[in-house]
A = this chain, B = another copy of it.
Amino acid sequence: MDVEKLKQMLEAKGIRPTFQRIKILEYLLTQKETHPTADEIYEVIHSQMPTLAKATVYNTLNTFVRHGIASVLMISGEEARYDPVVEPHPHFFCVKCKRVFNIQSAPIDDKCLNLKEIEGNKIFEVHVYFRGICKECLKKSS
């Protein structure tokens, strides 16, 4: 992706567009479906940029989340996963292959996912996920 555009995305949120941050954002944007962990992100970028420290990856991802550029998924006690899509949407977590993927057809309406208040409590985020075994793993084991 165009580096200029990435820079602008960061600056638009008041984040200084350093080389590391641009790289991490770029990688994240190529991974809208896979919800990579901090470690995966570190491994991929570190291989092209051996000076990158893992702490920088964590710091950067936290910065992104705080500024609304990414969202973090905490599923079933697994490692945190990062998603460049910040709109709430349901996920499926496969306990066999550990993949996390989006579910398009969950019988939950947007009204619920975008609730801002419930029983007097103020809502920041609505998290919905299904835990089970994915189609592919079901096939393999049968």
Contacts and interface: CB of A to CB of B under 8 A. Distances in A.
Interface residues of A, number: 38
A106 B107 CA distance: 14
A44 interface: no
What is the copy number of this chain in the assembly?
2
Given A77-B74, A107-B112, A115-B130, A95 B124 contact: yes
A121 B107 contact: no
A131 interface: yes
Interface string A63-99: 0000000001011110010000000000010110000
Main secondary structure of the interface of A (DSSP, over half): mixed
Interface string A93-117: 0110000000111111101100100
Contacts of A138: 120-122
Contacts of A94: 121
Contacts of A129: 126-127
Most buried by B among A74, A94, A121, A126: A121
